[in-house]
């Protein structure tokens, strides 16, 4: 058989390709599966952070900001450690992005504060002179869609086995029972903000989009890791 293959270059090449491809799969797939598992200590987004992620997508922040730090010195010097596959294990959808009109945000929670984000979203040039980013003042009055974010948490918990607690259950009653936890988290964000209207809205049980967005932005970094809290 081997002599026959040697006399037929095409079939010999096909055979070599099949052997190498099979060996490559045996070597690559286990490593790929390992790399895609959640990194140690990673937690899923809270419901408030999910609501902020939805605001991030609705207002097309991904059009100008990536969330993927490449393993190059120029990138790690500016943005921190390069991104790992396992850091996205609980993210659906991924918000890697491909355009950087603005900086990468994958670790923005490590070096920006709630106060900074508040000023930046209200008037970008107040903290970044010459910024071409528009102001997002509507986020300070629009109410975040917490019910949809909660339903998303229920879905990924049941479909993808995302590790949410037993208090995340389907149904309107379950959402209403869980809502005080969301409001408690929102109050912690609002406490570090200056805008009085935002504080009043949260005190009345309404969460402005800006509070949800800041919660999400603050989570982009080490705060997603329970082991580092």
Quickly state the pLDDT bin for 165 (edges 50, 70, 90).
Answer: very high
Per-residue pLDDT at 24: 75
Per-residue pLDDT at 23: 76
Q: What is the mean pLDDT of residues 73-99?
A: 93
Per-residue pLDDT at 140: 98
Give the contacts of 107 (CB within 8 A, at least 6 positions apart): 69, 79, 80, 81, 220, 221, 222
Q: Say if residues 61 and 96 touch (Cβ distance below 8 Å).
A: no
Quickly state the pLDDT bin for 31 (edges 50, 70, 90).
Answer: low
Q: Say if residues 221 and 45 touch (Cβ distance below 8 Å).
A: no
- Given a cut of 60, whether residue 33 has pLDDT beyond it is no
Quickly state the pLDDT bin for 17 (edges 50, 70, 90).
Answer: confident
The average confidence (pLDDT) of the chain is 92
Q: Tell me which of 3.30.565.10, 1.10.760.10, 1.10.10.60, 1.10.3720.10 is the CATH number of domain 47-228.
A: 1.10.760.10
- Give the integer Cα–Cα distance in Å for 80 and 170: 38
Nearest Cα to Cα of residue 148 among 55, 218, 42: 55
> What is the token pair recorded at 178?
């869980």
Q: What is the mean pLDDT of residues 8-22?
A: 83
Nearest Cα to Cα of residue 154 among 137, 140, 171, 141: 171
Q: What is the pTM of this model?
A: 0.86
Nearest Cα to Cα of residue 222 among 79, 89, 109: 109
- Per domain, the residue ranges of the chain are 2-35, 47-228
Per-residue pLDDT at 229: 41
> What is the token pair recorded at 154?
């229920």
Q: pLDDT tens across 91-118, in order?
A: 999 999 989 999 999 999 999 999 999 9
């Amino acid at each position: 058989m081997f002599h026959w293959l040697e006399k037929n270059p095409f079939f010999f090449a096909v055979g070599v390709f099949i052997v190498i491809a099979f060996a490559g799969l045996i070597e690559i797939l286990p490593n790929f599966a390992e790399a895609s598992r959640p990194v140690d200590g990673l937690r899923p987004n809270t419901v408030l952070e999910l609501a902020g992620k939805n605001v991030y997508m609705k207002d097309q922040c991904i059009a100008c900001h990536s969330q993927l730090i490449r393993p190059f010195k120029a990138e790690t010097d500016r943005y921190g450690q390069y991104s790992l596959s396992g850091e996205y294990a609980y993210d659906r959808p991924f918000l890697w992005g491909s355009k950087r009109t603005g900086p990468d945000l994958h670790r923005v929670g490590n070096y920006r504060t709630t106060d900074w984000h508040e000023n930046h979203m209200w008037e970008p040039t107040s903290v970044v002179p010459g910024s071409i980013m528009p102001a997002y003042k509507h986020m300070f009055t629009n109410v975040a869609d917490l019910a949809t974010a909660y339903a998303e948490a229920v879905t990924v918990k049941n479909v993808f086995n995302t590790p949410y607690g037993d208090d995340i259950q389907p149904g309107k009653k379950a959402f209403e029972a869980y809502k005080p936890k969301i409001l408690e988290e929102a109050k912690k964000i609002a406490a570090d903000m200056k805008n009085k209207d935002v504080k009043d809205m949260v005190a009345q049980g309404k969460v402005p989009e800006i509070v949800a967005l800041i919660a999400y932005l603050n989570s982009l970094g080490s705060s997603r890791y329970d082991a580092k809290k």
